[in-house]
Each structure stands twice: as C-alpha cells, then as structure tokens.
Structure 1
C-alpha cells in the first residue's frame, strides 16, 4: 500500500512551505538603517544634507528674486539707466538655474545622488548668483536721486546675505561662495571715496560676512541634529518592525505547534488508552487469580506491578490531555449549582483509605450555611482530589492534613488544604507551579508524580475566574488554597411567607 502524505499544514509544528517575512523585513530594515543611521561626513548623510538644502531652496525660491525685482524697480524710479534692469534679469536667471537644480535634486532618490558632483554644482550655481551681486556692488550712479547710494547698496547686500545664510545653511560654504566677491567689490568701489559713512558700511559688510557664516554654521548644526533625530526615529521604527515581524513569526509557529500538539494528543489518546485498558484488565485478572491460582507467587507480584504501572500511565495520559485542553481553551465547563462542602467531603472520603494506610489523620473544618456555587462539579472534584493527593503524598506517616471550606474576605468561597509535611523551599515554588515541575523533595520522594496536578488546578480555577495560592515553609508544611470569586456564589432565595404559600396552594 503506497504511503500517503497529508498536505494539511497544521500537521507540522512549523510549516516550511509558508513564506517567512523575517528575511525580507530584515533586509529592508538593514537598507533603511544603512541609509539613515549614519554619522555626519558619510556619503549617505551628505546625500540627506544635499536633499535638505534642495528642499530649502525650492521652498524659499521666490525670496531673493522678489528682493532683486524690488531693487530694480526702486533703481529705475530713482533714475538709474537700463543697466539695473539688465542686472536684475541676469541675476534672476542665475537664481532660476539654482532653483531648477534644487528641484531636480529634490525629486531624485538619495541613493542615486553623487554627493561630490551635486555639491559642486550647487556651489557653482551660488557662485554665479554671487557674480550678479558683484555686478550690483560695482554699479554707480552719479546723477541718480538717491542720497548715500553706497549706503543703500550696502543695506541691500546685508539683506541678501542674511537671507542666503538662512536659505543655504545646509550647504557649507554657500554663503562665502556667493558674497565673498561682492563684498570685495563693494570695498574696492568705496575706497576712493572713503568718507566716514562709506568706511563704516564697508567695515560692516566685512564683519557681516563671517558673522552670517557663523549663523549659517549653527543652522547647519541644527540641520545635522534634525537628521540625527530622524535617523534615530527611523531606527526605532525599524526595530519595532523587526520585533513585530519576529513576534508574528513566533506567534505563527506557536499556533502551529499548539495545533499540532492538540491533534497529536487527540489522536494518540485513543491509541494509548485502548491497549492500556487491556493491560489493566488482564493484569488485574492475573493478580486476583480470577481464572485459578498461580503456582508461583512471584508472577502474582509481577501482575500487581504491571497493573500499578499501567494505572500510573493512564493517569499520566489523562492529566496531559486535561492540561492540553485547558491550555488550548477547549475544556468545556458544565456549570451548575453545587454545594462546595458536600463535594469536598466526598473527596475526603475517597482519599480516606489512602490516608489511613499512611497513618495520616484528615481533619475537616467546614463553615455552615454556605450558599451554592455556580461551577463545574467535575472540575471542583478534580481540584480537591489533586490538592488532597499532593498533601497525603508528601505528609510523613503519623502526620495530619486539615481541610477547610469557608468564606473569603471578598465574599467568595475557598478550599484550603494544609499539611505538616516537609514543605517547599521558597525558591522552588515557581517550579512546582509550572507544568511538569517538581521540587527537590518530590524528586527524592519514592512517590514521584507527573508534575501536572498544580498546573491543572490553576487552569481550572482560572476558567472559573478564581485564584490559586500556595504557601509553604521548609519543615513546617504547605497550605494550598483554591479561591472561587464572589461572582460564582449564588444568592439564597428568600423563603416565601406562609400566607402566600397557602393562597397559591388554593389557586
């Protein structure tokens, strides 16, 4: 018969056919981080600064052209010849070229930019604009109607320098490339006059150039800081994307593993229980000599051992299945009104023989008139039997176990089982509360368990909205408390008055 392979994805703990996003996301994150999370002076960082400069030039492209047009209009009104109009057109052409260059750089991907060439092109463009301002500084007007013409030119140059310092702060050297020659030309034109006012304006322009350069450097540092902050922000976003991708992948694998585990346990439970029932049945028949006496008593002892081992294995399978159903959320509660003291008392009777064989006394302390509890009776019995079994298992011969049922401070009900056994070290309590966890005393004990009793208790109590507490001190004993919340307690219905009952009876 040919071997059939199932294509069902949930049969695998990890489905290898599904595309994994981790590698793609990791590459994208690495690319983004390499582009943005760089130090100043690197190619990627220089590209970002150039794009920042291009964006600033595009946004403020009309600022200096408006100044040029205003100066040209005032000059014509003051009586300057056509030279001022030709200067204005040539200067506007230079700034238009720089604006188109900035627009092209802004639309280009950062990775495609050549930072050295782009920086050189920008500096050349600003230098050409500076030649226009040098021409303006050279212009003279002996017959115009403007008093202190050279002072007015100096004021215009100062305004243009301040505007350029702000606009071109992201491009180091742009201010000096634009206004070094105009300032020199202005100083040369006023040397022959050298009146106090012209000398003052020349000194002011000479001092203004390094001052505005200092301002531009500080603005450049602010731009660098802005890029650094943006890089850190993008790096954090990249980290979050990576963590989210890893979390999604881990959750998917966990869901696949949980589904595979549930299917495996569901399919194996029947396969394991069927032969176990046969082993338990036949070993019990042999141990009790139902079909006749056995000539060799050793065989009878072996049959007892086989029966006990099979029973232990069956209990282990049942506990694993219960725990898996609780963890998968498939444990269905059959909720109904139950009387908690009655259930606990029945469980104590079931464990009485086992306690008597170890010479352990079980004391019962139940509060009276406890109202009914809305809970799953089978789950409550399982909680009580698991806690009682643990207490009797680890209590030494001649010890005692106290079982109490009563009210909690919050109005709920509790089951407390306390023994005077060896106790549990404080650092081992989280271990014994975990699945398959056992303390050092349990490992040394002859009656080792599966380590699933307390996790099952916690899961069943959580499904009821309750809590589980475990208090223990070494060589003093252990107390396990199962708490059911107030919402599970059913109110007592008030008794009907006698007259009302009689009237209803006559109807």
Structure 2
C-alpha cells in the first residue's frame, strides 16, 4: 500500500511539468525572435518615438526662438529705423507660440502609430507657418540703408534661423524644406524682379545652404533612427534573455522534480527489491549446497548456481545504482578515520585473487614501505580499489598480468596504480567509459558486461576525498588507472617539541 502511495505522489510531481505549461513562454520567444528578424529601420517603425523626441526638443528649446527674434527685431530697428519690423516680430512670435501650443497638446495626448502620422502633419503645418513669417522677413526692403549692408544683415539672419531650425527640428523630416521653401520662393521672386547681383547672390547662397542643411538634417535623422533601432534590438535581446532564463528556470525545476521522483522511487524500491533478492540468494545457496538433501538431477544444481550468480549480479547492480544516486543527490556521507592504504590494497587483492587464478592471471605488487595512514572512508576506498581491480581482472586475457603499485605522489599524497595488459580502450571512447552507464566497445563485446557505473562511482568517491582519478589506456597495450589522495589527507607523525622551562632560561641568562 505504501508503495502505491509513493508512486502516485511521484507521478503527480512529474505531471506538473507537462509541456502545456510552457506555451506562454514559447509564444513569447517566438514573438521576440520575429521582432529581432524584422527590420527596425523601416520608415514607419519608429514614428511615435521620433515624434516624441521632436516634441521634447521643441518644448525644451521653446525660449530660444523668441529671444532670437527679439534680438533680430531690435537690430533691424536700430539699423533701418523702421518700426514695422516689430509687426514681423509679433507675427513670428505668434506662429512660434502656436507651434509650442501644438507640441504641448501632442504631448498631453496618447500617441500611437495612427495618431503619430496625424500629429506629424499638424506640426509640419506649424513649421510652414513659421516659414511664411521668415519669408516676410526675407522680402523686407530698406531704401534708406546701404544695399550691401542690409543684405548682409538679412542674409546672416536667415542663415542663423536656418541653422537653428535644422538643429532643433531634424527629427521632423522634412521640416527644413517645408519651413524655408517659402523663403526660397520669396527670394527667387524678388531676385527675378530686381535682377540685382546682390539679391541673386543671396538667393543662390541661401538656396544652396537650405539644400545642404536639409542633407545634414536627414543624415542626423537616419543616425538617430539607427540608434533607436539598436535600442529596440537591445530591448528585444534583453527580453529574449529573460524569456530564456525563465525557460531554463522551468527546465531546472522540472529536472529537480524528476530527480526528486527518481530519488523517491529508488528509496522505496531499494527495500522492495532487496527483500526478494535476499530470499532468492538464500534459497539458491541452500539448494546449491544441498542442505535439504541431494539434487538428483545435475542440471537442476547447475540452474541453482546460475540463479545465485544472477541474483548476486542483480544485487550488485542495485547497490551501484543506489550509490550513484546518493552521490548525485549529495547524500553520500563519508565516515572518515585513520586507515592504511597498504592494508586495504592487500585485502582487496586477496578478494580478487581467486578470480585471477581462475583465468591464470598474475597479480604483482610494488608497495612502498612504511606509508603513513591517511584520513579517509575505509569502506569507500575499499569499494574504489575493488572496482578497479575487478575491472582489471575482467578485461585481462588468460595468462595476463596485473601490476599494483602503492606509494607517494610528487605532491606528498598517496596513490594506488593498477595496470593490466588487456585489450585497452580507444582514445575516443575514454569519455564514454568515464560517464554514467557508459561502456566501451570492448566491454559491450565482452561476456562479462557490467553496469557502466563502476568508474563514475570511483570518480565521485575520490572527488569526495578531494582526490583525483586518472585513466591511461592504449589500444592492444593495456590500461592503467590511478587513484590519488591529496597530501592534506596524509597523517604524518610530528615529533614532540622539547619544552624548556622559562625559569631555567632566566637563570642561564643571569649566569
């Protein structure tokens, strides 16, 4: 009953991570990628942003034009002594005030892609009104003034007005042309009627300058448009990164839930599997030993031996899977004590000696004498050495050799090296062999296939000891595995320090 409840709970955990929960995230990713793939520099892509930038520029520089117009009017009255220029100044200030009013109205309203085009036309009309005022100024005459001086005053004023307009209104294209088209037409008409060289020169210079400033304004507009496009692309990339992060968080959560389900499953099934396996091993051993009486059929006795060997193999497989699961879950705790690497190695060699003799394999030893104890988990290190020795015996051919070395490392640690003259491992298969459930082509063809968990467990146990695992292998030459414990786990005996009493030192110094 308890098993059924646990399995149901695990199923509920896995069901929470169905793919339908990722539909909004997947949709957001798709929309973001479509925005990234689209051209941001399209003509109408940033109408609203461009219009907002223009409106802010107009409102921030609203006081510049009135000040400029007042200065020009005052200078005009001073040079020409004609007070009618104040009427032009009043008309120009009125047109400018209307422009500012329109900008304030536009900022106070919600601007979208549709209303942006309407407001753009309205604001261009306001600029045209200001241009008409400058056309009135361009048509002014002064009979009492020297023609060259007055044309210089008028030309300088128009050029300054053109530069101020171009720099402040370049976000509203083509405001430069619309604003000063009436001025150019007025100058052309006046130069055509008067046919004076000064008027023609002023018209030519101003027209050329208008074309040049229009080109500069357009380049500035395109540059700002690219900046807006890059800004939008950056925002889209940030959005996609956030979406990708949310997806990775979701994937991590699902992996944690799956890992939790796996841990619960293994925890519940370990007892359920081991209990019948122990019964199978016990009864098969009793039958094989013929405790309850002889088995008349020799085939049955062979079958009982097969059952016992298969049960032991299955039990070892379950133990290895549980060990790896505890290591991956971070629940593999070390029970550390002062142990001798030499003694453990000798014991493990004795355990595999019978199997080695069955294949006529010679195991040679090369141990350094008087190695100090190390601070480690005896059971874990015994498992490491047994795994490595079992692999060596398994893959070493008949009448082969295995060399076992135990000694010091160059850094002051201790190591055990196990080298065989088996078939070896191809270089490209070494990462596969070191991975969980990974097996090389030699192991797959072998009659003694394993689980592929031995070496990953060895690596994990050595990592828990802050140690290192090295595998060297050459095809048709053999394999060498080295398990290394760091120097900080070696327990050195420290000689006692002689404690000289302080009083005796004082006496000797007085003497």
Q: What TM-score do you get using the length of structure 1 for normalisation?
A: 0.89
Following the alignment from structure 1 to structure 2, what is the Cα–Cα distance between the partners of residues 312 and 408? 35
How far 1:272 moved relative to its partner? 0.6
Residue 395 of structure 2 contacts residue 423 of structure 2 at CA under 8 Å; is this kept in 1? yes
How far 1:212 moved relative to its partner? 0.8
1:478 aligns with 2:479: yes
Residue 36 of structure 1 contacts residue 231 of structure 1 at CA under 8 Å; is this kept in 2? no
490 and 300 in structure 1: CA distance in 2 versus 1, 3 angstrom threshold: same
Aligned to 2:302: 301
Unmatched 5+ residue regions in structure 2? Answer: 502-511
338 and 91 in structure 1: CA distance in 2 versus 1, 3 angstrom threshold: farther
Aligned to 2:206: 205
How far 1:195 moved relative to its partner? 5.1
Following the alignment from structure 1 to structure 2, what is the Cα–Cα distance between the partners of residues 203 and 386? 96
1:380 aligns with 2:381: yes
Residue 424 of structure 1 contacts residue 441 of structure 1 at CA under 8 Å; is this kept in 2? yes
Range moving further from structure 2, 55-64 or 130-139: 55-64
Following the alignment from structure 1 to structure 2, what is the Cα–Cα distance between the partners of residues 244 and 107? 38
SS at match of 2:62: coil
How far 1:256 moved relative to its partner? 1.0
147 and 236 in structure 1: CA distance in 2 versus 1, 3 angstrom threshold: same
254 and 315 in structure 1: CA distance in 2 versus 1, 3 angstrom threshold: same
Following the alignment from structure 1 to structure 2, what is the Cα–Cα distance between the partners of residues 19 and 98? 54
Unmatched 5+ residue regions in structure 1? Answer: 501-507
Residue 468 of structure 2 contacts residue 483 of structure 2 at CA under 8 Å; is this kept in 1? yes
Aligned to 2:127: 126
1:74 aligns with 2:75: yes
How far 1:127 moved relative to its partner? 1.1
Q: What RMSD in Å do the two structures reach over aligned CA positions? A: 3.1
Following the alignment from structure 1 to structure 2, what is the Cα–Cα distance between the partners of residues 412 and 360? 30
CA distances 1:232-265 after superposition (whole Å, capped 9, x unpaired): 3223223322321221121111111111111111
Following the alignment from structure 2 to structure 1, what is the Cα–Cα distance between the partners of residues 294 and 385? 39
Range moving further from structure 2, 289-298 or 394-403: 289-298
Count of residue pairs brought into register by the alignment = 499
Aligned to 2:223: 222
Following the alignment from structure 2 to structure 1, what is the Cα–Cα distance between the partners of residues 147 and 402? 112
Following the alignment from structure 1 to structure 2, what is the Cα–Cα distance between the partners of residues 275 and 36? 61
17 and 301 in structure 1: CA distance in 2 versus 1, 3 angstrom threshold: closer
Residue 25 of structure 1 contacts residue 245 of structure 1 at CA under 8 Å; is this kept in 2? no
CA distances 1:299-355 after superposition (whole Å, capped 9, x unpaired): 111111111111111100000000011111111111222221221121111111111
Following the alignment from structure 2 to structure 1, what is the Cα–Cα distance between the partners of residues 474 and 173? 73
How far 1:295 moved relative to its partner? 1.6
6 and 269 in structure 1: CA distance in 2 versus 1, 3 angstrom threshold: closer
Aligned to 2:44: 43
Aligned to 1:353: 354
How far 1:31 moved relative to its partner? 5.9
How far 1:217 moved relative to its partner? 1.9
Q: How does 1:464-475 map to 2 (within 5 A)?
A: 464-475=465-476
Residue 461 of structure 1 contacts residue 467 of structure 1 at CA under 8 Å; is this kept in 2? yes
328 and 395 in structure 1: CA distance in 2 versus 1, 3 angstrom threshold: same
Range moving further from structure 2, 46-55 or 452-461: 46-55
Aligned to 1:408: 409
SS at match of 2:360: coil
How far 1:156 moved relative to its partner? 1.2
Range moving further from structure 2, 295-304 or 181-190: 181-190
Q: How does 1:23-102 map to 2 (within 5 A)?
A: 23-24=24-25, 26-27=27-28, 30=31, 34=35, 38-78=39-79, 83-102=84-103
Following the alignment from structure 1 to structure 2, what is the Cα–Cα distance between the partners of residues 185 and 498? 112
161 and 432 in structure 1: CA distance in 2 versus 1, 3 angstrom threshold: same
Following the alignment from structure 1 to structure 2, what is the Cα–Cα distance between the partners of residues 44 and 488? 67
Residue 35 of structure 1 contacts residue 44 of structure 1 at CA under 8 Å; is this kept in 2? no
SS at match of 2:45: helix
